[in-house]
Amino acid sequence: MKSDVSISKSRIGIHNSMMSDKIKRNITGWLMLLPGCICFLIFVIQPMIVGIYLSFFETKGFEAVRFAGLQNYKDVITDSLFIKTVWNSVSYTFWSIVIGGFTPLIVAMMLNEVVRGKAFFRFSAYFPCIIPGIVTAIMWKILFQPDANGFLNMIFGKLGLGPFQWLQNATMTIPLINVTMAWAGFGGTALIYLASLQSVDHSLYEAAEIDGASFWRKIWHIQLPHVSGLLKMLLLMQIMGVFKVFQQPLAMTGGGPNNASTSIMLTAYNYAFSYMQVGRSSAVGMIAGIILCGFSILYFRVTRKKDSV
Amino acid sequence: MKERTGIISNVNYKKGSYKVIYWSIIVLLVIMAAICILPVAWVLISSVKSLDEFYSVPPTILPRSFHFEAIPELFSRYDFTKLYGNTLLYCAGCVLFNITINGLMGYSLSKMKVKGGVVVFTIILSTYMLPTTVCMAPVYKNIIKFPIFGFNLMNSYWPLWMMCGASAYNVILFKSFFDDLPAGLLEAAKLDGCGDLSVFTRIVLPLSKPIIATVAIMAFSGAWGDFFWPYMILKDNNVQTIMVKIYAMQQDTQMGINTLLLAITFSIIPPAILFVFFQKHIMNGFTMSGIKG
C-alpha cells in the first residue's frame, strides 16, 4: 500500500517534470520566434493590412480621413495615365519574354556543349549579375547616351550607323530597359538551366544517335522536354518580376519620355510620394497585387505538377 | 581531352556538320562574353579619362591619357572613405539580422515544435507568396512613426536591418535545412544532459556552418546593392550608402561624367572581390534560390 502511493507520487513527479519541460521548451521556442515575429509584423503584415484598408479611404498624409468606398479605385482606373501604365506593363512583359525569356536557355545549351574554356564563358555570363542593380541601370543609361560620345553610338558610329536617340525615343524605351534587365539577369538563369541540362541521361543521346537523330532533333526531343517544367516555372517568375519593375525606369528614364516607360509600381510610388495621395497609391498596389496573385496561383499549379512528376 | 557534357559526342565531332555547329557555338559564346564584359570594362577604363577627352571629337574608345589623380580627388570630395564605412556597417547589420533572426526562427519552427508554430509558419509562407505591392506607403509610415513608442527612424539603419529580419525566403531556407538535421542527434545530446541552449550552440551551430555561410554571403552582396529603402530613409549625408550616393550623383548635372564613372568603378570593386573569393557559394546560392522560387 505504502509503496503504491510512493510509485504514483513519483509518476506524478515524472509527469510534472515532463509538463514543465514542455512549457520550458515552448517558452524558449517562442523567445526564438519573437524577434522575427516583430520584424514581420511591423514591416510586412501590418503594412499589408493597413495598405488594403487605406485603399478604401480618403487620406491626408498617411492617415485615413473618411471612408470612400471604391472611389480611389474609380479615380485610378479612369486616370488616363494609369491606363497607359497598364499598357506599359503589358509591353514590359512582352519584351521581357521576347528578349530575356529564352536567351538564358539557349546560352545554357551552348555552354553545355563547350569543352574547353567553359569556366571562362560561365564566369562571363554570370559577371553582370554581381553588379548592383541600380549601378547596372545607371551604367546603361550612360552607355545609351544619345550624343555621339555615348559608348553605343560610338561603336555604331564606327559601323557608319546612328547616332541613335536610344532611351529618348519613346518606342525604344521599354525594349531597351528590358535589354538592360536581360543583360543583368540572363547569366544567373542560364546557370540554373545548365544545372538541369547536365542531369540529362547521356544514354538518351546515344539511343537517339542510333535512330539517326540530327543535332536539332536531339535538342527538340531530349533537352526541351527535360527542361520544360523548369522553363515554365522560370518564365512565370520572370513575368511576376518584370510586372513589378520599378528601379530601372526610376533610375534610367524617370518614367519618361512622356510617361512612355512608367510602370505600375512607379505609378504607385508617384501617387504616394510625389502627389501625396496614399489612398490612390494603395488602390494601385491592390490592383497590381490581385493580378500578381493570379500569376502566383498559376505558378503553384506549374510547380506542383513538376514536383509530382 | 576533357569529357563532353552536351549533345555533341567525340564521335559526332569528327563529322563536318557537327564541327561547324560546335565552332559556331564557340563564336556565339565569344560574342556573348564580349557583350557581358566590354561595357563594364569600358566604364572602368573611361573612369580615368579626362573630361576634355570625354567630349572630344572624334570620340576615343581607349583613353589617350590616364588621370589617376582623379581617385584621391573623388575620395576627398565625396568622402568615399565614409561612404565605404557606412555601407560596410549597413551590410554587416543586414548579415547579422538575416542570420540570427531568420536562423532562430527557422530553428524554432523546425525543431522546437512550439504551440502555434504551424500558424506562424503558414503566415510567413503566405507573406512570401502574396505580392507586397500595397506596402510601400504603410511601411514608410511605420518608419517615420515607429508603431512602438512612435520613434521617427529616418536616417537610421535599424528599420532597414529589421526588414532583413523579415526575410520569408531565408526563414524557409533555414527551416528546410534544420528539417534535414536528424532528430536523433539532438535527442542523443539531450539524453547526455545538454539543455536546449547547449544543444543549439554545441551541436546545431557547428553543423549549420555551410547554410550560414551561404546566407551571409548572399545577404552581404544583396545589401551592398540595396537601393530603394536606403534611398527613401537615408537622406542625411552622414549615413548614406554608396548606392544612394551614386544615384544622387547621377542626378547632379554639374558633375563631370568621368567622376560618376569613377564612383561606379569603386562601387563595383567590393562585390567583384567578394565574387572572386566566394564564387562557388554565390553561384550555388543563386541556383538554389532560382529553383526554390
Would you call A227 an interface residue with chain B, using a CB distance cutoff of 8 Å? no
Asked whether A162 and A153 are in contact (CB, 8 A), the reply is: yes
CA nearest neighbour of A189 among A114, A113, A97: A97
CA A62 – CA B135 distance, rounded (Å): 12
The residues near A78 (Cβ < 8 Å, ≥ 6 apart) are none
Looking at the structure, do residues A153 and A47 belong to the same domain, yes or no?
Answer: no
Measuring CA to CA, how many Å separate A236 from each of A180, A278, B129, B293? 19, 30, 13, 10
To probe the interface with B, which of A25, A37, A39, A238 has the most B CB atoms within 10 Å? Answer: A39
Would you call A110 an interface residue with chain B, using a CB distance cutoff of 8 Å? yes
CA A32 – CA B199 distance, rounded (Å): 14
The residues near A29 (Cβ < 8 Å, ≥ 6 apart) are B108, B112, B113, B114, B117
CA B130 – CA A300 distance, rounded (Å): 12
State which residue of chain A sits closest to B170, comparing Cα positions: A36
CATH number, domain containing residue A78: 1.10.3720.10
Q: How near does any CA of chain B get to the CA of A33, in Å?
A: 5
3-state secondary structure of A65: strand
Domain hosting residue A29, numbered range = 2-54
- Three cell numbers, residue B162: 529589421
CA nearest neighbour of B292 among A190, A105, A307: A307
Give the distance between the most distant pair of CA atoms in chain B.
Answer: 80
CA B254 – CA A294 distance, rounded (Å): 46
Looking at the structure, do residues A31 and A123 belong to the same domain, yes or no?
Answer: no
User: For each of chain B's 293 residues, which pLDDT tens digit applies?
Assistant: 456 778 888 778 888 888 888 999 999 999 999 999 998 988 888 888 777 777 766 666 677 777 787 788 888 888 888 999 999 999 999 999 999 999 999 999 988 888 889 999 999 988 887 777 778 888 998 898 888 887 888 899 999 999 999 999 899 989 988 988 888 888 888 888 877 778 888 888 898 888 898 889 889 988 999 999 999 999 988 899 999 999 998 888 777 788 888 899 999 988 888 888 888 777 776 666 544 43
Looking at the structure, do residues A146 and A295 belong to the same domain, yes or no?
Answer: yes
Segment A5-25, tens digit of pLDDT: 555 555 555 556 666 778 888
Looking at the structure, do residues A79 and A179 belong to the same domain, yes or no?
Answer: yes
State which residue of chain B sits closest to A36, comparing Cα positions: B101
Flag whether A46 is in a domain.
yes
Flag whether A294 is in a domain.
yes
Looking at the structure, do residues A126 and A7 belong to the same domain, yes or no?
Answer: no
Asked whether B135 and B166 are in contact (CB, 8 A), the reply is: no
Residues 30-69, chain B, touching A (beta carbon < 8 A)? 32-33, 35-37, 39-40, 42-43, 54-55, 57, 59, 61
Flag whether A66 is in a domain.
no
Query: What pLDDT score was predicted for residue B9?
Result: 81
Q: How near does any CA of chain A get to the CA of B11, in Å?
A: 10
- Three cell numbers, residue B11: 564521335
Beta-bridge partners for A67: A57
Query: What pLDDT score was predicted for residue B128?
Result: 81
ipTM of the complex: 0.85
Would you state the CATH architecture of domain B80-292? Orthogonal Bundle (1.10)
- Three cell numbers, residue A272: 504616394
**Contact list, B55 vs chain A (CB under 8 Å):** 149
Looking at the structure, do residues A36 and A112 belong to the same domain, yes or no?
Answer: no
Would you call A54 an interface residue with chain B, using a CB distance cutoff of 8 Å? yes
Query: What pLDDT score was predicted for residue B131?
Result: 75
3-state secondary structure of B232: helix
Flag whether A68 is in a domain.
no
Looking at the structure, do residues A159 and A17 belong to the same domain, yes or no?
Answer: no
CA B173 – CA B292 distance, rounded (Å): 9
Asked whether B103 and A17 are in contact (CB, 8 A), the reply is: no
CA A180 – CA B35 distance, rounded (Å): 11
CA A248 – CA A228 distance, rounded (Å): 29
Asked whether A239 and A262 are in contact (CB, 8 A), the reply is: no
Looking at the structure, do residues A214 and A299 belong to the same domain, yes or no?
Answer: yes
Helix axis angle, A170-197 relative to A224-243, nearest 10°?
A: 140
DSSP letter string over A75-127?
Answer: HHHH-HHHHHHHHHHHHHHHHHHHHHTSHHHHHHHHHHH--SSHHHHHHHHHG
CA A16 – CA B232 distance, rounded (Å): 54
Looking at the structure, do residues A40 and A186 belong to the same domain, yes or no?
Answer: no
Looking at the structure, do residues A204 and A274 belong to the same domain, yes or no?
Answer: yes
Spans of chain A, pLDDT less than 50 = 1-3, 308-309
**How many structural domains compose chain A?**
2
CA B128 – CA A57 distance, rounded (Å): 26
What is the pairing mode between strands A63-67 and A57-60? antiparallel
Would you call A280 an interface residue with chain B, using a CB distance cutoff of 8 Å? no
Would you call B216 an interface residue with chain A, using a CB distance cutoff of 8 Å? no
Burial of A218: CB neighbours in 10 Å, binned 0-12, 13-18, 19+: buried
DSSP letter string over B33-85?
Answer: HHHHHHHHHHHHHHTTS-HHHHT-SS--SS-SS--TTHHHHHHHHTTHHHHHH
Query: What pLDDT score was predicted for residue A260?
Result: 85
| H or E, element range at A255 | none
Domains in chain B: boundaries: 80-292
- Predicted TM-score (pTM) of the model is 0.85
Query: What pLDDT score was predicted for residue A119?
Result: 87
DSSP A129: G
Give A254-260 contacts, CB < 8 A, sequence gap 24+: A256/A173, A257/A167, A257/A168, A257/A169, A257/A170, A257/A173, A258/A170, A259/A81, A259/A84, A259/A85, A259/A88, A260/A88, A260/A170, A260/A171, A260/A173, A260/A174
